Structure 1
């Protein structure tokens, strides 16, 4: 530990300057810009106070975006975290461990592919004329389910969400595999000797031992759901209508299509506040429970 506080500050100063210039200052500047009406091609800015925020909370598309982001988060937690944990437990089982490298690679590959490529690929697969989803459904006798998946308001959001689950579940699965591998082998050996079945092994041994990883992945997945942009922008652009609108995509439209920079800054502030709260929750979870403090004992002076 450094005794010279000035020396410590000199080490911290470069990082603090970078954080101030590229993080703190832009956040503050964005909030200031949200108090004005202005466009990218206007000569000046008109101060309107909180008018952009009043407009935002009365904007039906903001409510649709919040609903879609929330729906995105719920499905992602269930599919990515829930199914990812199940797959990790299956591939870490004694019988499947020898096949794990193959399936681990197979599930992880989508995570490293560009979201633009993923979006264009699935846009083609979902196509009612050239895609393979509808012909596949017809081939297995489910032709009644064939439809324009991205063109219908009732199916577009679900179709986009499915793509995200397909892409990201492998990454979450790997995190859980690492967590399971850290569990002492003696625990599993004792369970095998006692004849514990796979379901009991999963719910009473694996789940309690990977609770920390579960909490972190859940919060991280929720944060990612409220930051989602690429999938929606590439596959549907927020359509049909505003059926697949999310906060990030609507922010982009407000700023770069409608040229309402002040309003876009207000949406960015709302998004920032949501992500800030979720990040604070994650930091709290990472800290874990506080250790109980030892009781204070009053010193008693010995009698002279």
Structure 2
């Protein structure tokens, strides 16, 4: 006997739910449980310590350095990736630039598909204090006093790493906005042209409100990535010099695989999860996505 039509949809989504439960939600719950224990990766013994890992984490100065760097990541990424990506998308979708937009879309999107290892190697040459093209360019324009060891100084290391992320990711956010802009009814722009609106006015009054939902998606992706970033700081600086470019992801990695504090690392992972959930909830409240008005 065939199942009723009401049951059939649930049968289709059951494999997805099972995989999500097994590979996403179960590990999250296990990590949360591990955060209340002190244990080593090389020993099966676990000692229950309650909230001690969290208390030690909130007393750790490096944690606040890492959190501050993640916040810098988030703020700068919103400015350059989201707002910058929206401006680039609007420019490339303008009728004046439409004939070259395909070329520039490829140029801006190309870094997204390049391996982060290759990108890190590339920028290690760019930032090289002796033969790097960045210091070479500064010398060329007579700004030698700005030249420095970008990845080797605590004041500039994290910002040099953040700049790499902006260069790599802005093309992806730009493409999201291009798709959204292409779905805006052309009649709105035609009516604005009849009213004599300029390009800036059309961008502010038509483009920005019409891509509101995509703005939410882009912001969510960007902020989540900013609080879970690991590859760029680990490959370029390893969290150094000192702990100046440490982020929560590298702090977790060092705690787990260098110091063998698996419970402490689980507590860091739990904090990262809570931060990303909090950011997502705040965004949904501010954007009121999916609702009118």
What is the TM-score normalised by the length of structure 2?
0.92
* Correspondence for 1:244: 245
- CA deviation vs aligned residue, 1:157-196 (integer Å, no higher than 9, x gap): 1111111111111111111111111111122222223332
Residues 1:188 and 2:192 are matched in the alignment = no
C-alpha RMSD of the superposition: 2.0
Larger radius of gyration: 1
Deviation at 1:10, TM superposition (A): 4.1
* Correspondence for 1:139: 140
* Correspondence for 1:29: 30
Deviation at 1:287, TM superposition (A): 5.1
* Aligned residues of 1:149 and 1:156 also touching (Cα < 8 A): yes
Residues 1:63 and 2:29 are matched in the alignment = no
- CA deviation vs aligned residue, 1:113-148 (integer Å, no higher than 9, x gap): 111211121112101123111011111121111000
* Correspondence for 1:289: 291
1:46 is paired with a residue whose SS is strand
* Aligned residues of 2:227 and 2:248 also touching (Cα < 8 A): yes
Please show how residues 91-170 of structure 1 align to structure 2 within 5 Å.
Answer: 91-170=92-171
* Correspondence for 2:47: 46
Aligned equivalents of 1:21 and 1:178: distance in 2? 33
- CA deviation vs aligned residue, 1:5-30 (integer Å, no higher than 9, x gap): 66555444333332222122211211
* Compared CA separation, residues 131 and 229, structure 1 to 2 (3 A): same
Could you list the structure 1 runs, at least 4 aligned residues long, displaced by more than 6 angstroms after superposition: none
What is the TM-score normalised by the length of structure 1?
0.89
* Aligned residues of 1:216 and 1:286 also touching (Cα < 8 A): no
2:196 is paired with a residue whose SS is coil
Aligned equivalents of 1:26 and 1:231: distance in 2? 25
2:124 is paired with a residue whose SS is helix
* Compared CA separation, residues 11 and 105, structure 1 to 2 (3 A): closer
* Correspondence for 1:208: 209
Aligned equivalents of 2:211 and 2:16: distance in 1? 34
Runs of 5+ consecutive residues of structure 2 not aligned to the other structure: none
* Aligned residues of 2:128 and 2:149 also touching (Cα < 8 A): yes
* Correspondence for 1:269: 270
Tell me the number of residue pairs that the alignment of Structure 1 and Structure 2 aligns.
Answer: 290
* Aligned residues of 1:66 and 1:246 also touching (Cα < 8 A): yes
Deviation at 1:290, TM superposition (A): 6.8
- CA deviation vs aligned residue, 1:194-241 (integer Å, no higher than 9, x gap): 332221121112112212211221122111101110000000001111
Which range moved further: 17-26 or 226-235? Answer: 17-26
Aligned equivalents of 2:76 and 2:181: distance in 1? 23
1:241 is paired with a residue whose SS is coil
* Correspondence for 2:221: 220
* Aligned residues of 2:81 and 2:166 also touching (Cα < 8 A): yes
Deviation at 1:32, TM superposition (A): 1.7
Runs of 5+ consecutive residues of structure 1 not aligned to the other structure: 292-304
Aligned equivalents of 1:287 and 1:140: distance in 2? 47
Aligned equivalents of 2:11 and 2:195: distance in 1? 59
Deviation at 1:41, TM superposition (A): 2.0
Residues 1:72 and 2:73 are matched in the alignment = yes
Aligned equivalents of 1:92 and 1:81: distance in 2? 16
